[in-house]
Structure 1
Amino acid sequence: MSIWRVKPVSAFEADMKKSELKRVLGKWSLTAIGIGAIIGGGIFVLTGTGAYYHAGPALAISFVIAGIACVFAALCYSEFASILPVEGSAYAYAYGTIGEVFAWIIGWGLILEYAMGSMTVAVSWSGYFNKLLKMFGIKLPEWLTADPASYTGEGFSMNLPAFLIVLFVISILIRGTKGAANANNFIVLLKVSAVIFVILAGVFFVNLDNWDPFIPAATEIVDKAGTHKAYGIGGIISGAAAIFFAYVGFDAVSTQAGEAINPKKDVPFAIIASLLVCTLLYILVSLVLTGMMNYEDFNPLGKYPEAIKAPVAYAFDIAGQAWAGYIITIAATVGLISVLMVMIMGQSRIFLGMSKDGLIPSVFSKVNPLSGTPKNNLMILGGFISIVAAFTPINKLADMTSFGTLFAFTMVCIAVWILRVKQPNIERTFKVPALPVIAVCGILINTYLMINLSKEAQLLSLGWLAIGILVYFLYGKRNSKLNNKEE
């Protein structure tokens, strides 16, 4: 009955043997899944909010700090993936090392990470989709494109494009993982090409005056949400915490281990490769963007109110290169679909793992025999995500996603260290070098970034974790497969 009971490695191996998921993902498909999730949120969405609300031109340093924090976590994820190549990501790793209640808390945090991440991307996609429509002379009424908190009129409003894109992605995912992966591979190729285009074309329109000062003096910003501190060293740190959402992608690679052809080797490779490629691209794009457009012009109450929703495209518009805006807007509109696809796919696999263990209802672990996908799981998720995305402002969602991500990363760094001490002789095809140093750095930097998120996001996220603990003791602990086995 102990809440600290551990799921034995042999039980994971038994789960893998009887898994109904189809192993169709190779090394490069897994890497594309990582890149597909990472490139999108950070480059096409959060560069505007990160520059205006937090760091100014020094946003590039924020991306460096966030990337370093990710490297520590990525190495720990890679070691775990080489030991337990199963769906469930950090949840499964904790269940096999520390104990059930700890695994539950991580799983509940991952729900926050992926569900909020999916909603954030859906809202962001809506911003780019609306810009794309306007380019072709079509303008949807505000009450159909704005959540109630952002709506300037009176009466009912919802973000209809955000609602519909989630349903569209769900329709792709329930057809099968291989088809979804092929679609993702194509979109990733398109996105990476667009990002390289932004860097190469944008360099010619950089105004060095926009980087002066590179680190603006610390000040306070007043907006509809109230007053908060920005810029200076503190702004760079809070910026790293806020844009951390952009790095959720390599985590998603580990959720697909149950569908990888050679997970023990390919998952660690894909995690590290996707992270390194995307961190470099993020730094270069943030430098180009803040050089093309003054960070103060991303003010949502200023002369370019839409710029904060689609920052890269607006930067080229303002530079008088509308043609480039068309290319970027089309690439972002299509590209964000793959981010949403990977996020929802990852969320569904975490639910699948938790459901197999009895911690959440069995409806989430039923796999459709024809498609090899958890169809009911995906449909329930899609309904929930689409409704919340239609009625919630983007900044609230992004910060809560960052909390869930940082929390999971911290827990993984702790768990891999514990497993190395408890079971030093277990087979590891990938080992973290200098583990105590890497784990401690990962724990400290991720915790520090968590502390630097907005107070509102911290309180909402802690409230979410408190609800999760309640659900565990009311349902999960009683229905756990380990508990029933003991009985």
Structure 2
Amino acid sequence: MDLFRCKPAERALEEENSHSFKRALNGFHLILLGIGCIVGTGIFVLTGTAAAEHAGPALAISFVISGLGCLCSGLCYAEFASMIPLSGSAYSYAYATIGELLAWIIGWDLILEYLVGAATVASGWSGYAIKLISQFGLRIPPELSHAALSFKGEHLSATGAFLNVPAVFVIVLITCILMVGIQESALVNSIIVGVKLTVIAAFLIFCYPHIEASNWSPFIPPNAGHVGVYGWTGIFAAAGIIFYAYIGFDAVSCAAQEVVKPSRDLPIGILGSLLVCTVLYISVSLVLTGIVPYKELNVAAPVALAVERCGPTLAWLRPWIEIGALGGLSSVVLVLLLAQPRIFHRMAMDGLFPKAFAQVHPKFRTPTTTTLLTGLCAAILAGVFPIDVLSSMVSIGTLLAFTIVCLSVVILRKIRPELQRQFRTPWVPFVPIAGAIICLGQMLFLPLATWIRLIVWLVLGMAIYFGYGYRHSRLNRRSSDR
């Protein structure tokens, strides 16, 4: 039983064009997909908490540190994406370096990042949508606007609600868009990202004159006597919190087989979106802490609070901030629901999932079967389960994938140095190892309950692999034929 058989990178390259996807995306589309997935609640929510409780005005430094940490992983993704431009993302990269079993674990783990992530963000979208429509005198009954289950202690219990209808609605709507075609999906994402960036730009431009430099003094508040509360330890603590604001750039690689020039444009999309988002995050954090004293920013909507402090002249901007937040979450759901079906498709092409998962619609040229499956599962999760349980699973699943990709770059450089790499991660092995250490460090600070859920999830995945995937693997069939 060869559990660590690898699929040679040459074979992966041969399979690059053996599909029915439509190549319609370029580097600009990929940057917008990355921004669409990265910029969500992080810029509208996490900035306030991180500044008020940990970094103060030095939150801008925290974003630089966190951005550099994500850049290490992003550089590793960029190298693999240029070398193995398949829609399987980290799964395909692991398959070429560390073998089928670990590739399966990563593919199974990516469900936590993309499918469960979409459900988590849709739950957050529901809260913003309910708040926005309430301003127009409309009201959704609690029974139809909350999850049916809540998590108390270590047990799930019924809330009395029936279904989180707004969360289900946004997933169903976006699933329908994704089934129509990649060009249409990219267009919708571009429009949403355009609205989101316009709102953020308006906030920066119109609120900048209201900055009081005294709010930035001291820029690095003295430590309050506890580790992680202001001072340099607070800056690093805040960097750990806002690390999750960067998650999403890796979803760009899932569109590899729909990119006209993937080896060139995928690194542009991954690194370009990270750069743009880092600049946005730093700019917003400086304006926020310049308008509102940092200790007052520990609120659910810090950006809206900053606009309010600017006075009645900017009252018109407040509803647009909520629209921007809603749009931000919408594009995140779209990109996550775009990524997951392509992971399923790639795994089915390798024989690890049933052949039905590999079907591509002859007219729309999208993986309609897996798109429907992903939308259905995400809608059930978002409608029934509480957001806190879902979000912790997304974090650990994403960080595990990042860690494996970083380590895989080092391994493949050692065992296959002759492979053509149109983009090369600089300073190997230092950059990949730094990325892996940063991600592992973040994982270690997650609650024990999250680790237990991850183990249970992986055990379930192993049962499916040994019950179906191993026997039906294309590599297994090839070795049997020999």
- What TM-score comes out, normalization by structure 2 length? 0.89
Q: State the alpha-carbon separation in 2 of the partners of residues 267 and 373 from structure 1.
A: 19
Q: Which string of whole-angstrom CA distances, capped at 9 and with x for unpartnered residues, describes residues 308-365 of structure 1?
A: 2x44334424654432111111222233222111111011111111111111222321
Q: Which string of whole-angstrom CA distances, capped at 9 and with x for unpartnered residues, describes residues 132-169 of structure 1?
A: 21222323333332334399x97325322111111110
Q: Which string of whole-angstrom CA distances, capped at 9 and with x for unpartnered residues, describes residues 72-124 of structure 1?
A: 11111111111111111111011011111111121122111112321222122
C-alpha displacement at 1:399, in angstroms?
3.0
Q: Give the match for residue 159 of structure 1.
A: 164
Q: Give the match for residue 250 of structure 1.
A: 249
Instruction: Give the 5 Å matches for 1:468-483.
Output: 468-483=461-476
Q: State the alpha-carbon separation in 1 of the partners of residues 225 and 457 from structure 2.
A: 31
Q: State the alpha-carbon separation in 2 of the partners of residues 162 and 51 from structure 1.
A: 29
- Of 175, 180, 195 in structure 2, the residue corresponding to residue 175 of structure 1 is 180
Q: State the alpha-carbon separation in 1 of the partners of residues 13 and 98 from structure 2.
A: 18
Q: Which string of whole-angstrom CA distances, capped at 9 and with x for unpartnered residues, describes residues 46-82 of structure 1?
A: 3355456765655444432321111111111111111
Q: State the alpha-carbon separation in 2 of the partners of residues 428 and 117 from structure 1.
A: 31
Q: State the alpha-carbon separation in 2 of the partners of residues 207 and 146 from structure 1.
A: 40
Instruction: Give the 5 Å matches for 1:311-330.
Output: 311-317=302-308, 319-320=310-311, 321-330=314-323
Once the two structures are overlaid, the 10-residue window that deviates more, 207-216 or 329-338, is 207-216
> Which residue type is aligned with residue 472 of structure 2?
N
Checking the alignment, whether the CA contact within 8 Å between 2:193 and 2:331 is kept in structure 1 is: yes
Q: Give the match for residue 24 of structure 1.
A: 24
Checking the alignment, whether the CA contact within 8 Å between 1:191 and 1:331 is kept in structure 2 is: yes
Aligned alpha-carbon RMSD (Å): 2.7
- Of 194, 198, 213 in structure 1, the residue corresponding to residue 199 of structure 2 is 194
Secondary structure at the counterpart of residue 98 of structure 2: coil
**Residues 473 and 78 of structure 1: is their aligned pair in 2 closer, same or farther, counting only changes over 3 Å?**
same
Q: State the alpha-carbon separation in 2 of the partners of residues 158 and 128 from structure 1.
A: 16
Once the two structures are overlaid, the 10-residue window that deviates more, 142-151 or 442-451, is 142-151
Q: State the alpha-carbon separation in 2 of the partners of residues 106 and 154 from structure 1.
A: 34
Checking the alignment, whether the CA contact within 8 Å between 2:151 and 2:389 is kept in structure 1 is: no
Q: State the alpha-carbon separation in 1 of the partners of residues 253 and 141 from structure 2.
A: 41
Q: State the alpha-carbon separation in 2 of the partners of residues 13 and 168 from structure 1.
A: 34
> Which residue type is aligned with residue 160 of structure 1?
V
Q: Give the match for residue 264 of structure 2.
A: 265
Secondary structure at the counterpart of residue 275 of structure 1: helix
**Residues 55 and 31 of structure 1: is their aligned pair in 2 closer, same or farther, counting only changes over 3 Å?**
same
Q: Give the match for residue 208 of structure 2.
A: 203
Q: State the alpha-carbon separation in 1 of the partners of residues 14 and 77 from structure 2.
A: 21
**Residues 35 and 430 of structure 1: is their aligned pair in 2 closer, same or farther, counting only changes over 3 Å?**
same
**Residues 199 and 400 of structure 1: is their aligned pair in 2 closer, same or farther, counting only changes over 3 Å?**
farther
Q: Give the match for residue 374 of structure 2.
A: 381
Please tell me whether residue 440 in structure 1 is matched to residue 439 in structure 2. Answer: no
> Which residue type is aligned with residue 118 of structure 1?
A
Please tell me whether residue 403 in structure 1 is matched to residue 396 in structure 2. Answer: yes
Secondary structure at the counterpart of residue 316 of structure 2: helix
Q: State the alpha-carbon separation in 2 of the partners of residues 480 and 242 from structure 1.
A: 40
Q: State the alpha-carbon separation in 1 of the partners of residues 217 and 461 from structure 2.
A: 46
Q: State the alpha-carbon separation in 1 of the partners of residues 395 and 414 from structure 2.
A: 29
> Which residue type is aligned with residue 371 of structure 1?
F
Checking the alignment, whether the CA contact within 8 Å between 2:146 and 2:162 is kept in structure 1 is: yes
Q: Give the match for residue 361 of structure 1.
A: 354
Checking the alignment, whether the CA contact within 8 Å between 1:242 and 1:453 is kept in structure 2 is: no
Once the two structures are overlaid, the 10-residue window that deviates more, 279-288 or 165-174, is 279-288
**Residues 132 and 465 of structure 1: is their aligned pair in 2 closer, same or farther, counting only changes over 3 Å?**
same
User: Identical aligned pairs, as a percentage?
Assistant: 43
C-alpha displacement at 1:173, in angstroms?
0.3
Q: Give the match for residue 284 of structure 1.
A: 283
Q: Give the match for residue 155 of structure 2.
A: none
Checking the alignment, whether the CA contact within 8 Å between 1:170 and 1:379 is kept in structure 2 is: yes
- Of 406, 410, 414 in structure 2, the residue corresponding to residue 421 of structure 1 is 414
Q: Give the match for residue 130 of structure 1.
A: 130
Q: Give the match for residue 458 of structure 1.
A: 451
Checking the alignment, whether the CA contact within 8 Å between 1:95 and 1:103 is kept in structure 2 is: yes
Aligned residues: 470
Q: Give the match for residue 370 of structure 1.
A: 363
Q: State the alpha-carbon separation in 2 of the partners of residues 386 and 298 from structure 1.
A: 33
Secondary structure at the counterpart of residue 140 of structure 1: coil
Secondary structure at the counterpart of residue 180 of structure 2: coil
Checking the alignment, whether the CA contact within 8 Å between 1:241 and 1:450 is kept in structure 2 is: no
Q: Give the match for residue 224 of structure 1.
A: none
**Residues 388 and 209 of structure 1: is their aligned pair in 2 closer, same or farther, counting only changes over 3 Å?**
farther
**Residues 47 and 166 of structure 1: is their aligned pair in 2 closer, same or farther, counting only changes over 3 Å?**
farther
**Residues 400 and 238 of structure 1: is their aligned pair in 2 closer, same or farther, counting only changes over 3 Å?**
farther
Q: State the alpha-carbon separation in 2 of the partners of residues 195 and 414 from structure 1.
A: 36
Q: State the alpha-carbon separation in 2 of the partners of residues 132 and 427 from structure 1.
A: 51
Checking the alignment, whether the CA contact within 8 Å between 1:252 and 1:342 is kept in structure 2 is: yes
Q: Which string of whole-angstrom CA distances, capped at 9 and with x for unpartnered residues, describes residues 388-436 of structure 1?
A: 1123333433332222222111111111111111111111111112211
Secondary structure at the counterpart of residue 174 of structure 1: helix
**Residues 154 and 351 of structure 1: is their aligned pair in 2 closer, same or farther, counting only changes over 3 Å?**
closer
Secondary structure at the counterpart of residue 149 of structure 1: strand
Q: Which string of whole-angstrom CA distances, capped at 9 and with x for unpartnered residues, describes residues 208-265 of structure 1?
A: 6766775585799xxxxxxxx9745666545434433322232011111111000011
Q: State the alpha-carbon separation in 2 of the partners of residues 174 and 195 from structure 1.
A: 30
**Residues 104 and 234 of structure 1: is their aligned pair in 2 closer, same or farther, counting only changes over 3 Å?**
farther
